[in-house]
Structures are given as structure tokens and as C-alpha cells.
Amino acid sequence: MILPAPTRQAKVLVNGHEVQVAFAGGGERPAALEFVVPLEKEAVVQVKWAGHRSSHSSRPVVIAGGPSDGKPPVPAATCQPVELAAVFNDRVTEIFKPGKYVSPRSPFVSLALPSQGIGYWAGHVNATAEIDDTGLRTTAAAHGGKITLPNGVAFATPGPGTAPNILFTSQWDNYPREATVPLAGKARRVHLLMAGSTNAMQSRLDNGEVIVTYTDGTSSRLALRNPETWWPLEQDYFTDDYQFRLAGALPRRVDLKTGAVRVLNGTDFKGQGRVIPGGAATVLGLDLDPDRELQSLTVRALANDVVVGLMAATLER
């Protein structure tokens, strides 16, 4: 059972017996409280927070809400896209090109990721994925260089043509391991449109991170963790709560070939993971301290073999 955790001070009773708990995430505001409920016909769960008490049903649940979800529509007047065109270093369609990822590699025999950056050594060495961003570019061109999500958040992204439209970072030598863009003013949230790669060897760990730094030296961090907040460009995760369980809400996805925005519902989406024709970007969000002056936004790749890309960022003032 996974619940939002307003504090690290919690005691959990299942059918009157205290159970061991664990907290996901670091810092003073952990992301979730997790504990095991015995497989019984019925269970009464009591969670005692510091100064609070609540009860929950016995059925396993996931955290409600999530990146850019569970919030009221964002007024357009409060959204300010961050200018990224000058720092884009590639086109999103170029991510899985043959022979692209050749360094660094072991000089010895190894079971390394194929050089196109996707696939596996056993039976899938020639795997590929065709990424097609024509729908995204066409939609942006029809709306003044922007795409708008159902919640009102607008992202700036290039229209038709061959202009770069993504800032890639990676442990591969093709791209920088991190990249920083300046920010200014104050904001309550930053909305992100991101795309990149991951695979089974990078599951259940931070593939990358987005850091927003304030002028006083403090910062806010979004962990890009497979599978909760880092989804592969070429497919949706298959989730069934048995072989593959995803702890948290599902992010919005923007299909690149059509420009369509998909708002995924955990109940309806179960068992629906699949390859996405043309690929899909992921919408994420990071809450900021609205009282602090912004200084910069940094995208950083942490895990081997992955590519972490930023396509757009919008500040919610």
C-alpha cells in the first residue's frame, strides 16, 4: 500500500498490529509512505501521522495526483515558456540512429547496449524505433509555435522543418552529461516536456534529474526515475500491478506523430502499454518555492546507457 506522506513521522497498524514502513524519496518531504498489507480477505489499515489520523480501505492503492495532474486548469496569463531554441543540440528524431553510441565502451567482450541506443544483446541487437515528430511540429505551427495541454499549460516548440527541438544529455559522449539554462523571476511550478531513452537495466533507479536552483543557493529537484517519472520515448510502460507495478500517477504523454495529448487513467490504462507509432514525449512538473528568486534550470543524465532530453519548459508564475 502506497500513500502520500506529509511527514516522516508515521505509525501504521494493520488489523491492530503495527507493521514496518518505508519512505520513498529524500529530503524533508518524502514522496510516499509504503508498507505491506498481508493477503487476507479483509484488512483494516490505520495510519497515525504526527498530529493526524486516517483510515484507508484494504485494497492496494497508488498515490493520487502526480506530475501536472490533480490540479485546476492553469490560467494562460500565468504561463511563460522558457526560451530553449539557442541550447537545443539535436532533433528528437535522431535519437536511435545506427552506430551512434560508440563511446565510452569496454575494450573487452561485453553484453553492452547496441550502438543505436536501443535493444538488447540477445536476439534484439538490430532493434530500432522510428521517431516521427511531424504531428508535433505541425500542431505547433498552427498555434504560433506552441502546443497547449488540456490543463491550459502551453509549451513552445519549433514548427515544420529540420530545426533542432530537443536538448539531449547523456553519459554517452555524443551529448553533454548536463546542461543548464538561466531563469529569472519567481514561479510556483515548472512544467516540462521531456523525451529520451531507458531500458530494463535502468529500472527502479534515477535515470536523470532536473534541478531548479534559486539565487540564494537552494534548489528544488525532480528525480527522473524509471518507471515513475521517466518513460521511454518509443513506448508506454506495460503495467498490470503484478509483473510490473507502477507506484504513482501516470504522466501525460504527447504523441509526436499526431500531436495528440493523452491523459492516462491508471484504471483504464492497466495492461495497455505498447509501442507508440512515432514515439511520445512525457509531461512532468516540479513544484517550486514561489518566494525565492530563480537562477537556473539544469538537466542531468545520471544512469549509463540512457539519453535524457528536454523539449520544452514553461514557468507557472
Beta strands 294-301 and 307-316 are unpaired
In a domain, 65, yes or no: no
Q: Which three cell numbers stand for residue 37?
A: 498489507
Percent of the chain with pLDDT over 90: 62
Q: Are residues 173 and 100 in the same domain?
A: yes
When pLDDT is cut at 50, 70 and 90, the band that residue 31 belongs to is: low
Q: Are residues 85 and 12 in the same domain?
A: no
Q: Are residues 21 and 80 in the same domain?
A: no
pLDDT of 191 > 70? The answer is: yes
In a domain, 146, yes or no: yes
pLDDT, tens digit (0-9, with 9 covering 90-100), for 152-185: 999 999 999 999 999 999 999 999 999 999 999 9
Distance of CA 116 to the CA centre of its chain: 22
Q: Are residues 186 and 301 in the same domain?
A: yes
Beta strands 79-81 and 205-214 are unpaired
pLDDT of 29 > 90? The answer is: no
Q: Are residues 13 and 94 in the same domain?
A: no
0.85 exceeded by the pTM? no
Dihedral, 246, 147, 149, 258 alpha carbons, nearest 10: -60
In a domain, 158, yes or no: yes
Q: Are residues 104 and 34 in the same domain?
A: no
Smallest CA-to-CA distance from 132 within 260, 235, 258 is with: 258
In a domain, 152, yes or no: yes
Q: Residues with Cβ < 8 Å from 312, sequence gap 6 or more?
A: 81, 82, 84, 155, 156, 157, 192, 193
Q: Are residues 49 and 104 in the same domain?
A: no
Could you list the residue range(s) of the whole structural domain that residue 8 is in? 2-56
pLDDT of residue 52: 56
User: How many other C-beta atoms are found inside a 10 Å radius of the C-beta of residue 128?
Assistant: 15
Task: With beta carbons less than 8 A apart as the criterion, state whether 128 and 230 touch.
Answer: no
Q: Are residues 83 and 47 in the same domain?
A: no
Amino acid at 131: I
In a domain, 62, yes or no: no
Q: Are residues 80 and 177 in the same domain?
A: yes
Q: Are residues 80 and 218 in the same domain?
A: yes
Q: Are residues 29 and 99 in the same domain?
A: no
DSSP letter assigned to residue 268: H
When pLDDT is cut at 50, 70 and 90, the band that residue 286 belongs to is: very high
Distance of CA 4 to the CA centre of its chain: 18
Beta-bridged to residue 77, according to DSSP, are none
pLDDT of residue 56: 44
When pLDDT is cut at 50, 70 and 90, the band that residue 287 belongs to is: very high
pLDDT, tens digit (0-9, with 9 covering 90-100), for 87-125: 999 999 999 999 999 999 999 988 889 999 999 877 788
Task: With beta carbons less than 8 A apart as the criterion, state whether 117 and 38 touch.
Answer: no
pLDDT of 55 > 70? The answer is: no
Q: Into how many domains does the chain fold?
A: 2
In a domain, 87, yes or no: yes
When pLDDT is cut at 50, 70 and 90, the band that residue 58 belongs to is: very low
DSSP letter assigned to residue 66: B
In a domain, 138, yes or no: yes
Instruction: Look at residue 8 and give its three-state secondary structure.
Output: coil
In a domain, 266, yes or no: yes
Angle, alpha carbons 44-46-52 (nearest 5°): 155
Q: Are residues 263 and 170 in the same domain?
A: yes
Residue at grid coordinates 495510519:
47
pLDDT of residue 66: 36
